[in-house]
Amino acid sequence: MRILVIGGAGYIGSHVVKSLLNTGFDVRVYDDLSTGKRINLFKQAEFVEGSLLDMESLKKALDNVDGVVHLAAKKAVGESMAEPEKYANNNLIGAINLLNAMTDKNVKYLVFSSSAAVYGMPQTPQLNESHPLNPINFYGFTKLEMERFMEWYDRLKGIKFVSLRYFNAVGYDEDGDILGLEEKPQNLLPVVMETLFGIRSQMSIFGNDYDTPDGTCIRDYIHVTDLATAHTLALQYLERENTSQILNLGTGTGHSVLEMIQETERIVNQKINYTMAPRRSGDPAKLTASSEKAQSILGWQPKHSDLENIIRSTWHVYQNTYEKNQN
C-alpha cells in the first residue's frame, strides 16, 4: 500500500513514517513545515511540501495513494482558546478539505490523530472510549468535530477511518533516527529537558495539593514509538476489516509530574530547578486511558513506554542538539 502521511515531518508523524517504512509500506509525506522539520524526513519516503489548505496540491499528493495518516494540526490548547480562528482553519477546514480530496480521488482509508482532549473533565480516573465527550478547550472541540465528520463521510462516502485518541505523547526514537526538537514546547518532558539544558532558567509545577499520592497531577505517558506502531496496525486493520474504529492510546498507568522530574534527576544525575505554582484551571488530578479496545482490536501493546526509556530517549536527543552546539 502507498500511504500519504500528512504532518509526517512533525514529532509524531516522523515516528509514524519510520514505522510504516519498516513494515514495508510505500510512504509519501505531505507537510507545510509550519512546525515540522526537514531533519525529521526519511530519504526512503517521498516528500511533498504543501498545505491542507491548498486543495489542488493536496489532490495531487493523493495520486495513487491507498490510505492516509492525518496528523497535521495545531495543538496548543491555550492558543486554541485565544485564537480559535487559527484552529478552525487548520484543524477543521484543512481536515474537511482532506475528506473532500479523498472522496474526489477515491481514497478509502484514513487514520486520524485524535486526542484525550475530546473527553474534557474526566468523570472516572481511567477513561474508556464510551466516557462522555465534553471538550473544555477549542483544540479538543476541533478533534471531536473531525471524528463526527469522519463518521458522516464513512456513512455517505465509504471512507473507513481509525481515530486514535492519544494521551500524552513522549519519548524519541531509540535508534536516534529522529532528532527534530519542538520549538517553545509546552508538554512536561520537553520543558523538563529545556530546564536541564539551561534553555529555561526554571520550570513550574502547577499545583501540589491535588488528591494524588504526592499532590501533583497524574498523566498517562505513552512512548511515541508505541503510538507509531498503532498507526501501522490501524492501516493493516482497515485493509483487512474495512471497518471504522475510535480507539484510546495510552498505557493505563499514570505518572505524576513530580515523579517525572525526580526520575529525570535520578537518570541524568542532575538537579532540575523547579518551583511550585498555583493550579491551572481545567487540569484534572488524574487522567489515564483504558486502551483495552486498541489492544483487542489492533493487537497493540505498548512496549517502549516505561519511564526510564521515555526519559533516556528524550535526553539523548536534547544532548545531541545542545551539547553538540556547545562544542
Ligand X SMILES: NC(=O)c1ccc[n+]([C@@H]2O[C@H](COP(=O)([O-])OP(=O)(O)OC[C@H]3O[C@@H](n4cnc5c(N)ncnc54)[C@H](O)[C@@H]3O)[C@@H](O)[C@H]2O)c1
Residue 217 binding ligand X, by CB under 6 A: no
Least Å distance between CB 209 and ligand X?
A: 25
Q: Which residues pair with 218 in a beta bridge?
A: 256, 286
Residue 140 binding ligand X, by CB under 6 A: no
Least Å distance between CB 224 and ligand X?
A: 8
Contact range with ligand X by CB under 6 A, out of 47-55, 153-161, 250-258, 316-324: 47-55
Residues 6+ positions from 95 with CB-CB distance below 8 Å: 52, 70, 73, 112, 146, 149
Measured at the CA of 289, the angle between CA 288 and CA 295, to 5 degrees, comes to 150
Residue 142 binding ligand X, by CB under 6 A: no
Instruction: Tell me whether residue 227 or residue 327 sits nearer to ligand X (CB atom).
Output: 227
Instruction: Provide DSSP, 76-132.
Output: -HHHHHH-HHHHIIIIIIHHHHHHHHHHHHT--EEEEEEEGGGT-S-SSSEE-TTS-
**Which of 211, 219, 214 is CA-nearest to residue 253?**
219
Residues 6+ positions from 142 with CB-CB distance below 8 Å: 73, 80, 87, 88, 91, 92
Residues in contact with ligand X, total (CB under 6 A)?
A: 28
Residue 16 binding ligand X, by CB under 6 A: no
Least Å distance between CB 242 and ligand X?
A: 24
Catalytically active residues, by annotation: 139
Pick from 3, 69, 98, 115 the residue near ligand X by CB under 6 A: 115
Residue 96 binding ligand X, by CB under 6 A: no
Residue 75 binding ligand X, by CB under 6 A: yes
Instruction: Tell me whether residue 57 or residue 103 sits nearer to ligand X (CB atom).
Output: 57
Residue 11 binding ligand X, by CB under 6 A: yes
Binding site for ligand X (CB under 6 A): 6-7, 9-13, 31-36, 51-53, 71-73, 75, 90, 94, 113, 115, 166, 168-169, 187
